[in-house]
Structure formats: C-alpha cells, structure tokens
C-alpha cells in the first residue's frame, strides 16, 4: 500500500551559479518504486534511486552530491544534451545551400552542442505535477545563432514517474527557421550503485540492432554504409556481458578505446520501441530502454580516468558506468544517406525515452533475461 503521507514531489535549492541565480532540484518519488532527482542545470538527472531484488534502493547514476562538481568540470553526467548530441564533422554542414559554421569543441568537430551546450544552461521550471504520476517540466529557449545553429529553438523537457518502476523522458522542440535538432540524455548508469565501487563489465547487455556505425579516429562515422554487427564484438542481439569482448583486438574497439558507437535501431515509427536491456547480476536490477529515436549510442565509460571525484567521494574510472544515449545518428547533417535531423517551422521535434526497471530474481542473470531466440523484444513493460 502506498503511504499517502509521503510527498511525491520535493522542490529545493541545489546550488548557486556565479551570477547569483539559483539552481533548483526537484525530487520525484514513488513510495513503492523509483526516486528521481532533476536539477535545472542542464535539465539533468542528478540521482535515480532504484530498488534491487531485495527492495533496497540505491542511486544508480554517476554524478555529484553537490552542485559545485557539475560547475567545475563539464562531463555531461545526467545532462540534457543539445542542440546536436554527438558529433558533427568539421563543425559545419550545409542547409538549403548555405554553409552553417558551428563552434568546434572536439578537435575540428562539434560535440554535444558546442562550447556551451544545453547541458551548461540553467533551465526554467515551467510546471511541477505532484499527482499520481509526479513530473517536472523544464524549458529553455536557444536564440538564433547560439553555438552557430540557425533559428530560435524553444525546447521543453518533461521527466515523469509514469509508474512505480518507470521513468519517462519526453522532449519537444520548435523552431522559427530551418535547423537541425538532436537531443538526448547523457546518464551514466551503474546498476550496482554509483557508490558501489563495482565496474559495469559484468552487466549483461542486449541491444536490438543489426548494424552499427564504424568510426574514424575523431569518432566520426566512416564514409560507408552501416556495418553488420554479426561476427563482431558489437553483436549484442542475443545478450552478452559488456566486458566479454571489450578487449578483443578489433579495429573499432581500438579506435573507440572500447564501446563508443552508434547502434542503428529499427526505423522510427514515432512510438517508443524496445532498444536495449541492461542487467546486473548481484543486485538483480534490470533496465529496459524504449525509445522513438533511430540510434542508440553505447559508451562504456572509456574516458573516465580517475581525475574526477563523484558521489560518496569516489573517483570515477574507466568502465565505472555505461551510457545508453538514444538520439539521431552522429554527423547526420553531413550524411544525406542517414535518417534526417532537420526541423522546419511548424513542425515539432519529439523525443520519447522510457527507462523501465524490473528485477531478475530467478537464477543467474542470463537465465532470467534470456536471449533474443528465447524472449521476443517486448513492446513495453514496467508500468
């Protein structure tokens, strides 16, 4: 039974920016399930408490206990990323015959929105819903020309506990000029717990993708069609531990220093469909991810190098977390053969991702989850 005395939404100050403006935190609670903390800085998922198989809750996303950590160093922990998540080659593209020059912040390329992307903006809380499905909606208006992108862009992000064990993310955007838009959330997951000290190499991963994008040394997709995952370390269709083949001598694992690649999902239909499943054997936590996006970037925390102190005073090191980032394919504005990221006036960009948590409570994790041949990819679960 739910406890009616437990507040489903708590709003408070989390920190202060150098200009004196407040950074707020909104905590969404379900008395029988999840607790999600959202901060206005970057519209970020600052904490996500998830019960394990023994009903013990633990925070399973990397980040910082205090705001100063987010301000001190840009690492995208839990952040909303835009205008364009991932990379655009040469920090430029052509739109309607005109060259658009972006801010280059990753060598010669543009990464995650540029020098000061959406992750570095203090979003405004537009509404808070304390009802049966607690939610917070945040907004940000990106002016025409910000980081080089054309058109004013009005963005709205809603985080909602749509069930006891489901966190729903809805993002919309509207423009007054033709532009490109590609938003994602950049949470770093460790289902053992952010303070556990355990790596994610034993996490069992399924990705519903037959192809992935091979990349060059700058993490730009190579000028070729998507590569088949079959016969490579990138084949997660039937499920595999993240670390099972991460040390294989494969050229794409060398260039990415592990997994840092876009997996090509089934053609988008507008509705979320199964994209990935992540499970951790000790806690029994299972995350199923559903999205309406065409790609899923899988990043195995390759560049966490022990120079950042995180929650509980822990230093974050390689393979301490995994990112599952649904979004458009990287460098799409320069690749007419990729699914488009164009947005025109009068249209609405929509990104929906659902994080559904369950437990594997019967036997080893592989047996509980099964493989693609044993269990069909579900349409939706976790409500």
Residues annotated as catalytic (active site), given as ranges: 186, 325
Which two three-digit tokens encode residue 247? 């040390």
DSSP assignment letter at 367: H
What is the C-alpha to C-alpha distance for residues 243 and 98, in angstroms, rounded to an integer? 44
Find, among 90, 97, 140, 133, the residue nearest to 118 by Cα: 140
> Where would I find the H helices in the chain?
67-72, 251-256, 365-369
Answer for the pair 95, 338: CB distance below 8 angstroms, yes or no: no
CB 263 within 8 A of CB 207: yes
Instruction: Give the sheet arrangement for strand 57-59, strand by strand.
Output: 9-16, 22-29, 35-39, 44-51, 57-59
- Mapping DSSP to helix (H, G, I), strand (E, B) and coil, where does residue 146 land? helix
Do the beta carbons of residue 164 and residue 1 sit within 8 Å? Answer: no
Q: Return the C-alpha torsion angle 317, 321, 326, 328, nearest 10.
A: 20
Strand partners, 95: 98
Q: What is the CA radius of gyration of the chain?
A: 20
Q: Residue 281 and residue 147: Cα distance in Å, rounded?
A: 43
Secondary structure (3-state) at 357: strand
| Secondary structure class of 254 (helix, strand, coil) | helix
């Amino acid at each position: 039974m739910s406890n009616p005395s437990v507040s489903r939404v708590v709003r408070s100050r989390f920190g202060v920016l150098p200009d004196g403006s407040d950074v707020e935190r909104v905590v969404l609670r379900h008395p029988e399930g999840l607790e999600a903390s959202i901060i206005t800085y970057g519209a970020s998922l600052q904490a996500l408490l998830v019960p394990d198989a023994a009903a013990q809750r633990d925070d399973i996303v990397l980040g910082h206990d205090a705001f100063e950590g987010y301000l001190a160093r840009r690492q995208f922990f839990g952040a909303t990323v835009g205008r364009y998540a991932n990379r655009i080659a040469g920090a430029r593209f052509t739109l309607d015959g005109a060259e658009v020059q972006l801010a280059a912040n990753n060598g010669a390329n543009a990464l995650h929105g540029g020098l000061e992307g959406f992750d570095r903006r203090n979003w405004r809380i537009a509404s808070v819903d304390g009802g049966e499905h607690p939610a917070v909606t945040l907004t940000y208006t990106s002016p025409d020309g910000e980081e080089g992108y054309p058109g004013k862009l009005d963005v709205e992000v809603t985080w909602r506990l749509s069930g006891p064990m489901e966190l729903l993310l809805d993002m919309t955007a509207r423009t007054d000029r033709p532009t490109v838009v590609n938003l994602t959330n950049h949470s770093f997951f460790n289902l053992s717990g952010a303070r556990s000290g355990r790596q994610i190499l034993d996490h069992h991963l399924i990705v519903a993708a037959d192809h992935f994008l091979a990349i060059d040394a700058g993490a730009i997709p190579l000028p070729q069609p998507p590569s088949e995952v079959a016969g490579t370390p990138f084949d997660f269709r039937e499920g595999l531990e993240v670390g099972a083949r991460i040390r294989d001598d494969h050229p794409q694992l060398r260039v990415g220093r592990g997994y840092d690649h876009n997996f090509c999902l089934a053609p988008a239909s507008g509705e979320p469909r199964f994209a990935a499943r992540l499970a951790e054997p000790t806690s029994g936590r299972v995350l199923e991810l559903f999205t309406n996006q065409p790609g899923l970037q899988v990043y195995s925390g390759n560049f966490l190098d022990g120079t950042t102190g995180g929650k509980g005073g822990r230093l974050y090191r390689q393979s301490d977390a995994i990112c599952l980032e649904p979004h458009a394919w990287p460098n799409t504005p320069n690749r007419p053969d990729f699914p488009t990221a164009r947005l025109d006036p009068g249209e609405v960009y929509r990104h929906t991702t659902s994080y559904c948590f369950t437990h594997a409570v019967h036997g080893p994790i592989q047996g509980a989850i099964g493989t693609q041949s044993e269990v069909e990819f579900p349409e939706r679960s976790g409500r």
